[in-house]
């Protein structure tokens, strides 16, 4: 069964204010300059070996991360997704300026893809860079459903001997019988699910209810001991009786890390992606400095640092020259007391450091996005904004009532802008938590000639003004990329045609 037998248009829900077919087709012709790349993906339940334990989870093709998808800028990506999951799902192409009807937001840009159904995504990929994809259905991305999308630059200016993709994850799925859905339920008392935010039609897997106090379809009477445990471990990183949450590099726990190999003197391009649901990571490579070349896919003026801070969904590309030995690449769960690790090995026989190692670079110069400048060729031409959209993040940890301007997510609400406008989005954080704010379909710019990004950290009680050009009509989500915040309400829509 195909979810879109008559092509994408038939899959678009009523009330969708997309640009008309002509407009989309014309924009698409301008973007599609290259080959068509056909790929088949299956979302499926899997058993995964994390290095020291096996968990039941959901993956793309039984791998964690899913296999990288590689295209060249200008190519058209044609992906058939087969949904073998027990729930509806979608695919969202994080950071890509694509046609709106392929953006993968259920109930907004397409109907959910039912269990057993398929959907054909087909869109031109205009810009080179490091991207990734994940479902936009509930908290599914906090299972094993994520993979890199690498868009090659036909005129690649960087020279390097190796390219590594490093995906950093916090892991809660299946470790002690809990699931991300159960954690969300516990955080919100079932509110998010009942509001239909995760498009699961009120259905709940029996595995999700295991250990909960409610019955199937019923309102949980109160957090069970297990779920209370899951919550505090997720939020505070309390190791408890298992090392939990797990912190993973490319799907492996620090006890059995991935090892990358190179020769001393080799130049390595590392593409870091934080795919965690709830964890910022501070990242360093022992014995090395890193030169940042890109963030969120877009080039920056090269900047050298000891450590990087990555909010959820952010990407950084760095260049490193390999030294001689075995070096820990450590991603510290910021504020949580856990870490993920991988190894850089340039000599045989040398012993690997223990998983508890803390390279001194982690405490050295720490780079955050506000210290970067966009490379000249991607800098927006300065101009006064035509409009300012003020998005104030509200809510508290205790009530878990995250919202924008006091209103939890409502799929019928839009912040309207007009095509052709320079739009300023003022992210105002009125809460005590920090939030990685993400806009779909566009890459905004940070103030003062700052980097082009699609996701930016907004610190507690701080404001960040970003600007973008409204050049890609449609309905575009703006949300916190802490998946538990967005699914409990910190999400809205900017729309224009």
Summarize as ranges the residues that interact with ligand C2O (CB under 6 A): 92, 94, 134, 136, 313, 438, 440, 477, 479, 481
- Beta carbon of residue 448, minimum distance to ligand C2O (angstroms, whole number): 26
Pair type for strands 444-445 and 452-453: antiparallel
Q: Which does 99 bind (CB under 5 to 8 A by kind): Cu ion, ligand C2O, none?
A: none
Q: Which does 94 bind (CB under 5 to 8 A by kind): Cu ion, ligand C2O, none?
A: ligand C2O
Q: Tokens for 171?
A: 């892991």
Q: Which is nearer to ligand C2O, 197 or 285 (CB)?
A: 197
Helices first, then strands: H and E counts in the chain: 6, 31
Q: Which is nearer to ligand C2O, 248 or 477 (CB)?
A: 477
Q: Which is nearer to ligand C2O, 137 or 346 (CB)?
A: 137
- Beta carbon of residue 158, minimum distance to ligand C2O (angstroms, whole number): 25
- Beta carbon of residue 333, minimum distance to Cu ion (angstroms, whole number): 16
Q: Which does 482 bind (CB under 5 to 8 A by kind): ligand C2O, Cu ion, none?
A: Cu ion
Rounded Cα gap, residues 68 and 72, in angstroms: 13
Residues facing 435 on adjacent strands: 458
Q: Which is nearer to Cu ion, 124 or 483 (CB)?
A: 483
Q: Which does 485 bind (CB under 5 to 8 A by kind): Cu ion, ligand C2O, none?
A: Cu ion
Span interacting with Cu ion, options 319-327, 352-360, 375-383, 482-490, rule CB under 5 A: 482-490
Backbone angles phi, psi at 24, to 5 degrees: -60, -45
Give the residue ranges of DSSP H helices in 172-306.
Answer: 180-188, 191-194, 206-209, 225-236
Q: Which does 422 bind (CB under 5 to 8 A by kind): Cu ion, ligand C2O, none?
A: none
Q: Is 41 helix (H, G, I), strand (E, B) or coil?
A: strand
- Beta carbon of residue 393, minimum distance to ligand C2O (angstroms, whole number): 15
Q: Which does 294 bind (CB under 5 to 8 A by kind): ligand C2O, Cu ion, none?
A: none
Q: Which does 452 bind (CB under 5 to 8 A by kind): ligand C2O, Cu ion, none?
A: none
Q: Which is nearer to ligand C2O, 251 or 276 (CB)?
A: 276
- Beta carbon of residue 309, minimum distance to ligand C2O (angstroms, whole number): 18
Q: Which is nearer to ligand C2O, 428 or 439 (CB)?
A: 439
Q: Tokens for 215?
A: 């019955």
Rounded Cα gap, residues 345 and 264, in angstroms: 9
Q: Which is nearer to ligand C2O, 103 or 306 (CB)?
A: 103
Q: Which is nearer to ligand C2O, 145 or 470 (CB)?
A: 145
Q: Is 354 helix (H, G, I), strand (E, B) or coil?
A: coil
Rounded Cα gap, residues 388 and 28, in angstroms: 28
Residues 76, 274, 482, 488: which binds Cu ion (CB under 5 A)?
Answer: 482
8-state DSSP, 347: S
Q: Which does 309 bind (CB under 5 to 8 A by kind): Cu ion, ligand C2O, none?
A: none
Q: Is 485 among the residues that bind Cu ion (CB under 5 A)?
A: yes
Q: Is 480 among the residues that bind Cu ion (CB under 5 A)?
A: yes
Contact 343, 258 (CB under 8 A): yes
Count of chain residues binding Cu ion (CB under 5 A): 4
Rounded Cα gap, residues 323 and 446, in angstroms: 34
Select the residue whose beta carbon is closest to ligand C2O and give its number.
94
Q: Which does 440 bind (CB under 5 to 8 A by kind): ligand C2O, Cu ion, none?
A: ligand C2O
Contact 435, 478 (CB under 8 A): no
- Beta carbon of residue 139, minimum distance to Cu ion (angstroms, whole number): 13
Nearest CA to 91 out of 207, 4, 212, 210 is that of 4
Residues facing 292 on adjacent strands: 303, 318
Q: Is 152 helix (H, G, I), strand (E, B) or coil?
A: strand
- Beta carbon of residue 435, minimum distance to Cu ion (angstroms, whole number): 3
Q: Is 479 among the residues that bind Cu ion (CB under 5 A)?
A: no
Backbone angles phi, psi at 68, to 5 degrees: -60, 140
- Beta carbon of residue 92, minimum distance to ligand C2O (angstroms, whole number): 5
User: Which 51-70 positions form the footprint of Cu ion (CB under 5 A)?
Assistant: none
User: Which 407-446 positions form the footprint of Cu ion (CB under 5 A)?
Assistant: 435
Cα distance between the two ends of the chain: 32
Contact 378, 452 (CB under 8 A): yes
In 395-485, at which residue ranges do the beta strands (DSSP E only) sit?
403-404, 415-416, 422-429, 435-439, 444-445, 452-453, 455-458, 463-469, 474-480
- Beta carbon of residue 482, minimum distance to Cu ion (angstroms, whole number): 4
Place of tokens 């070349």: 293
Q: Count CA within 13 A, CB hemisphere, residue 68.
A: 18
**H-run or E-run covering 483:** helix 483-487
Q: Which does 319 bind (CB under 5 to 8 A by kind): Cu ion, ligand C2O, none?
A: none
8-state DSSP, 265: T
Q: Tokens for 298?
A: 């877009």
User: Which 164-193 positions form the footprint of Cu ion (CB under 5 A)?
Assistant: none
Task: Note the residues at the interface with Cu ion (CB under 5 A).
Answer: 435, 480, 482, 485
């Amino acid at each position: 069964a195909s979810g879109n037998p008559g092509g994408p248009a038939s899959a678009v829900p009523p009330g969708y204010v997309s640009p008309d077919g002509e407009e989309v087709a014309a924009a698409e012709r301008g973007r599609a300059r290259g080959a068509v790349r056909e790929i088949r993906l299956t979302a499926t339940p899997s058993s995964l070996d994390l290095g020291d334990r096996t968990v039941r989870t959901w993956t793309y093709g039984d791998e964690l991360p899913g296999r990288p998808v590689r295209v060249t800028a200008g190519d058209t990506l044609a992906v058939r997704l087969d949904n073998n999951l027990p729930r509806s799902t979608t695919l969202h192409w994080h950071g890509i300026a694509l046609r709106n009807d392929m953006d993968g937001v259920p109930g907004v840009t397409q109907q959910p893809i039912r269990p057993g159904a398929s959907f054909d995504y087909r869109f031109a990929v205009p810009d080179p860079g490091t991207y990734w994809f994940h479902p936009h259905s509930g908290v599914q991305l906090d299972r094993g459903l994520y993979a890199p999308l690498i868009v090659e630059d036909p005129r690649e200016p960087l020279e390097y001997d190796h390219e590594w993709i490093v995906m950093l994850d916090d892991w809660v799925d299946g470790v002690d019988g809990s699931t991300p859905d159960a954690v969300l339920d516990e955080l919100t008392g079932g509110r998010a699910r009942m509001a239909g935010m995760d498009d699961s039609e009120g259905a709940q897997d029996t595995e999700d209810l295991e250990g909960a106090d409610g019955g199937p379809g019923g309102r949980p009477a109160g957090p069970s001991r297990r779920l209370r445990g899951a919550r505090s471990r997720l939020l505070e990183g309390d190791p408890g009786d298992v090392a939990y949450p797990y912190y993973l590099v490319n799907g492996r726990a620090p006890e059995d890390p991935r090892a990358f190999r190179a020769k001393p003197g080799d130049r390595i391009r590392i593409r870091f992606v934080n795919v965690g649901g709830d964890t910022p990571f501070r990242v360093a490579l022992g014995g090395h400095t890193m030169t940042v070349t890109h963030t969120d896919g877009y080039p920056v003026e090269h900047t050298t640092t000891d450590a990087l801070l990555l909010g959820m969904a952010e990407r950084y590309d760095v260049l490193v020259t390999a030294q001689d030995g075995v070096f820990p690449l450590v991603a510290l769960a910021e504020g949580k007391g856990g870490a993920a690790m991988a190894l850089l090995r340039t000599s045989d026989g040398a012993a690997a450091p223990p998983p508890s190692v803390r390279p001194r670079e982690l405490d050295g110069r720490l780079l955050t996005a506000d210290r970067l400048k966009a490379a000249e060729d991607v800098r927006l031409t300065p101009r006064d904004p035509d409009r300012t959209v003020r998005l104030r993040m509200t809510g508290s940890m205790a009530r878990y009532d995250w919202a924008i301007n006091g209103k939890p997510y409502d799929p019928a609400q839009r912040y309207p802008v007009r095509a052709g406008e320079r739009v300023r989005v003022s992210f105002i954080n009125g809460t005590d938590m920090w939030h990685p704010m993400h806009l779909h379909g566009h890459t905004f710019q940070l103030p003062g000639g700052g980097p082009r990004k699609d996701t930016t950290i907004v610190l507690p009680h701080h404001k960040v003004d970003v600007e973008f050009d409204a050049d890609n009509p449609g309905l575009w989500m703006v949300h916190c990329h802490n998946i538990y915040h967005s699914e409990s309400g910190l999400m809205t829509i900017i729309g224009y045609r």
